[in-house]
A and B are shown apart, each in its own frame.
Chain A
């Protein structure tokens, strides 16, 4: 069984997130989604205003039929070595040093790394900004 893992915050869940999961699942047979613990998000996204708690975000991701397993993580490069997986599906914008270290670890340990494109025109940041302007 080929296991694929993808990671993220998944606040303001949208179609882009769902497409990511569907595309990641196609790379194997089993999809693991790692949801970032709320306390750690500010380390890499200092301006982020997270609406939902970790548990609330886990609840939503777990409820999706395409997802087989959900875990939480704090730092991607420290969590990945602890998980049993074959493919690391990474989003186009996931490039900070933690991700770079995680990718390097994958390459050194025979794990496939696949970069998946973002769905154009949709993002949690845009949703937040646009909702703020709605009267």
Chain B
């Protein structure tokens, strides 16, 4: 069974997220999604999400392509996650192109998927602010 993992915030779930999850699942048989916790978002990126971790987790878990949701609590956990969850393929949006190549040293395939153009939660929040 080919195991795939991706990481993200998934605030204000939209069809761009769905595109990513669909394509990530298509690369294997079992998809794990690590959803960033509120503390991680605040401490590392000074980012405050609209929806709490519990709400974001519940929505991501409801997506048919997702098999398991785990919390992302820090930047460092990725290396241990690859081994703990027996990951074959790490997937992330191509705005991170090259940044996770180091995971190949852990024996995983690293795939950068193109973002769905014209949609992002950050942009949604910005656009609403301007109206």
Chain A positions within 8 Å of B, measured between CB atoms, are 12-15, 18, 49, 51-52, 56-57, 59-60, 63-66, 127-128, 130-132, 134-135
B65 contact set on A, CB distance < 8 A: 63
- CA–CA, A64 to B59, complex, Å? 9
Cross-chain contact of B129 among A12, A18, A127, A132 (Cβ < 8 A): A132
Contact call A65/B63, Cβ cutoff below 8 A: yes
Contact call A56/B14, Cβ cutoff below 8 A: yes
Chain B positions within 8 Å of A, measured between CB atoms, are 12-15, 18-19, 21-22, 50-51, 55, 58-59, 62-65, 119, 124-125, 128-129, 131
B13 contact set on A, CB distance < 8 A: 13, 60
A130 contact set on B, CB distance < 8 A: 50
- CA–CA, A18 to B63, complex, Å? 10
- CA–CA, A15 to B64, complex, Å? 16
Closest A residue to B63 by beta carbon equals: A63
Contact call B128/A128, Cβ cutoff below 8 A: yes
A64 contact set on B, CB distance < 8 A: 62-64
Contact call B131/A65, Cβ cutoff below 8 A: no
Contact call A59/B58, Cβ cutoff below 8 A: no
Closest-CB distance, A5 to chain B (whole angstroms): 19
- CA–CA, A59 to B124, complex, Å? 18
- CA–CA, A60 to B65, complex, Å? 12
- CA–CA, A59 to B119, complex, Å? 14
B59 contact set on A, CB distance < 8 A: 13-15, 18
Most chain B CB within 10 A, of A60, A63, A127, is at: A63
